[in-house]
Chains A and B, each alone.
Chain A
């Protein structure tokens, strides 16, 4: 009896958390200097999909909605979902509430990779490739260096900070040698912003992020078992090492895919899963999809706030830092061996 009530409540939360980003998408398309109503935005989307109303599609409003706002909004949604799901998965995997892609050095590794790619090959070569390679390299470094430490929780955090610092230093070196023109675009991109989003960027990153998200969410149940001690997980029949590596790679993949086009945006992957666990409990079958929905919504909302409130493009990465770091400190303060 109580079980089924609980089940219904959870279904409702899941449904709402997936509906919310869709509603916000429509609202966000109508926000901006050029006034477009939600209804018009919907009509433009419908016209684009059906291809019927060519007159509407050639209007300046349609151009702005479809080519400027839509990629930006989609990128914000994907970024929020990607950071939150990779954060939630990594926290379970490392049995550590303080871990996320940012703390583990993936973000700065990917940031360095993407910047290096932009400077070396310009835009002609997708920056996602090098971003992923360096993002993965960063986690591997953190894992190898912190392995065998007595207090792994602290060791992983410290090593993550140092590896991040290493990639930041490499990034600074790059900036130093880059041409002034490249430097300027690099500078804004690194602060983390969706304002430069184009369909070309999304063409590469979008499918990668969607595929990674789908796989991680499908593995929610498995991630539960992987959050047990190694001995237990192995005795339950899991190929612990292989499965961990797969999940870390997927988390690094979706993070790098975002970072390579939107720059470094930290802490979303820490705040969202934490809030979601408070809402639905520890079961990753629910935590992961709800984190995806709420993370996407939160990220989009943050970007909307910036678009509406600041006359110039305030980087969203700075905003998430300003909110995320105090939250992180608060978590450290109350971190104990148990968390829920």
Chain B
């Protein structure tokens, strides 16, 4: 499976995002980086099929995203938004179960297979203790994991995440980072996520896309483009990358 973006042009209010050519390859973690308002979320929403491009197209596995019906798209791509927005206070189990919507029609409630999938996801992520609690009682770290669980229940090859680590404390941030890597490795998921903490990128991502003012500044393997000059240009602030204990660190 591969995601190909061709001559994409997306408008959101007075913001415009243009992507000439971009290819995401399977089984790895890709990150979208850039300053606030650069267009990371817009690109994610476009990849999720939530905004219709003004021009150009996105192909997933050779099929054009805009031409897919809702359920077909849901089985290919899942989307993890930044904030818990449900106004109803669902139980965690029921919330994760909603990931199965794309497999059900409007009048059918979830069946045995959907419950089994949900239970499998819950035990894979070790969420048994949370399953009967209500979503609004959870900490923001727990809630992020529940969102990822819903995406897993959706059983899509691609998982898109919008800033999954913002507002988390250090421990929960590392937990999410570890989980995303694990999903790419054990479950062959294709993870595309925007991220704020650039110092985490070398640990997390194999591939990075630098976005600035609605344009792609650079895209490539992290090992090649995680460079001080590029990052400095991207954030418009001088940065240094140093190596210590075999890791790349950012100095600002």
Contact = CB atoms under 8 A, between A and B. Distances in A.
Interface of A: 2-3, 6, 92, 95-97, 215, 218-222, 224-225, 227-229, 231-239, 243, 246, 281-283, 285, 337-340
Interface residue tally of chain B, by bracket?
35 or more
Interface stretch (B18-26, B85-93, B168-176, B236-244): B85-93
B113 to A, nearest CB: 15
Contacts of B132: 2-3, 6
Contacts of A222: 101, 104, 106-107
Contact of A228 (B48, B86, B102): B86
Contact of A234 (B70, B87, B90, B93): B70
B227 interface: no
A235 B73 CA distance: 8
Contact of A340 (B48, B85, B134): B134
B99 A236 contact: yes
B50 A236 contact: no
A236 B154 contact: yes
B98 A228 contact: yes
B78 interface: yes
> Which of B45, B85, B110 has most chain A Cβ within 10 Å?
B85
B79 A235 contact: yes
Interface string B54-71: 000000000000000011
Given A221-B108, A236-B98, 18 more contacts: A95-B87, A95-B88, A218-B107, A222-B106, A222-B107, A224-B98, A227-B86, A228-B86, A231-B48, A232-B86, A235-B50, A237-B102, A243-B106, A246-B106, A281-B89, A282-B89, A339-B89, A340-B136
A215 B79 CA distance: 29
B107 A239 contact: no
B75 A237 contact: yes
B142 interface: no
Contacts of A215: 107
B71 A237 contact: yes
Interface of B: 45, 48-50, 70-75, 77-79, 81, 85-91, 93-94, 98-99, 101-104, 106-110, 131-132, 134, 136, 154
A171 B48 CA distance: 48
A231 B89 contact: no
B101 A236 contact: yes
B90 A224 contact: yes
Nearest to A94: B87
B81 A283 contact: no
Contacts of A282: 88-91, 94, 134
> Which of A3, A231, A285 has most chain B Cβ within 10 Å?
A231
Given A6-B132, A237-B101, A238-B101, A338 B87 contact: yes
B50 A231 contact: yes
Nearest to B83: A229
A210 to B, nearest CB: 16
B79 A221 contact: no
B106 A96 contact: no
B82 to A, nearest CB: 10
Nearest to A230: B50
Contacts of B89: 281-282, 338-340
Contacts of B109: 218, 220-221, 285
B165 to A, nearest CB: 19
A215 B108 CA distance: 11
